[in-house]
Amino acid sequence: MAQPKEIFVKSERCLGCMSCMIACSVEHSPGKTLFSAIAEPVVPKSRVYVEWAPPAKKIPLVCRQCEDAPCMFACISGAISRNDDGTVVTDADKCIGCWTCVMVCPYGVIGRDIDAGKAYRCDRCPDRDIPACVHACPTGALLYETVPDYSKSMRQKASEELARAEGE
């Protein structure tokens, strides 16, 4: 089986521009364009959250699709399951808005639509090749790669730095 791609976060590259949040909201709006999204009667909601932490860190937070997904096990209505591609998804029809998933998610990345009484979360944009947030990120703080590709790029970068240091 092909290695699935994951969303990686390089927080040191994040400028806090929140382009990812806008792109995510738009992608998950019925019209899927910025102009239609703005006029939506229900304000489109982002599934990625850019947070600020002292002293001056900006951190994009997105569902980690945990291997051990606590939300899936905790769900009391059978609404959360794992797709064949490894994505953990919430079935809005089955969700009863009990917020047990919110209570157990250690990353705080499950959203609550209080009016609808439904939880929502990152679905890795099933209609796109690259998730909207990653596509929108201007600095490469969000990457969409397989684990081997990502670790290879990290190794390469480390060895280049090592070589540079030894050359001096």
Partner 1 sequence: MPGRKVNDVDQRTAKYVIIGGSAAGMTAAHTIRARDPGSSITVLSDEPDMPYYRPLIPYVVSGKKSVREMALHGCGPYTGTDIRVETDSRVTSVDTEAKTVFVENGGSVRYGKVLFATGSRPFIPPDIEGIETPGVFALRKLLDAREMHKRAAQTSHAVLLGGGLLNLKAAFALLERGLEVTLVVYSPEVLSQLMEPRDAAPVREALDDAGLKIRTGAAAVAVESDSDGVAGVLLDDGSEIACRMVCIGKGVRPNVEFLETSGIVLDSGIVADACTACSRPDTFTAGDVAVTHDPISEDRVMTALWTNAVEMGRCAGLNMAGVQTAYAGTFGILNATQIARLPFVSMGVVHTSGLDCEVHRHRSRGSYRKMVFSPDGARLVGMVLIGDIRNAGLYRHVIRERMEVSHIKRQIIDHSLHGGHFFR
* Amino acid present at 13: R
Site string for partner 1, 6-45 (x = CB under 8 A): -----x----------------------------------
Contact between 62 and 55 (Cβ < 8 Å)? no
Decide if residue 139 touches partner 1 (CB under 8 A): no
From candidates 6, 10, 13, 74, binder to partner 1 by CB under 8 A: 74
Copy the structure tokens of residue 93: 């029809």
**Cα(65)–Cα(73) distance, integer angstroms:** 13
Site string for partner 1, 92-121 (x = CB under 8 A): --x-xxxxx-xxxxxxxxx-x-x--x----
Those residues whose C-beta lies under 8 Å from the C-beta of residue 71, and which sit 6 or more positions away, are 80, 88, 101, 104, 105, 110, 121
How far apart are CB 12 and partner 1 at their closest, in Å? 10
Instruction: State the DSSP code for 110.
Output: -
Residue with tokens 């990812």: 20
Pairing of strands 111-113, 88-90: unpaired
How far apart are CB 39 and partner 1 at their closest, in Å? 26
* Amino acid present at 4: P
> Which of residues 38 and 103 has its CB atom nearest to partner 1 in the complex?
103
Per CB under 8 A, the segment of 39-47, 66-74, 124-132, 135-143 that binds partner 1 is 66-74
How far apart are CB 48 and partner 1 at their closest, in Å? 11
> Which of residues 70 and 86 has its CB atom nearest to partner 1 in the complex?
70
Pairing of strands 118-120, 142-146: unpaired
Q: Which residues bind partner 1 (CB under 8 A)?
A: 11, 49, 51-53, 57-59, 61, 70, 72-81, 94, 96-100, 102-110, 112, 114, 117
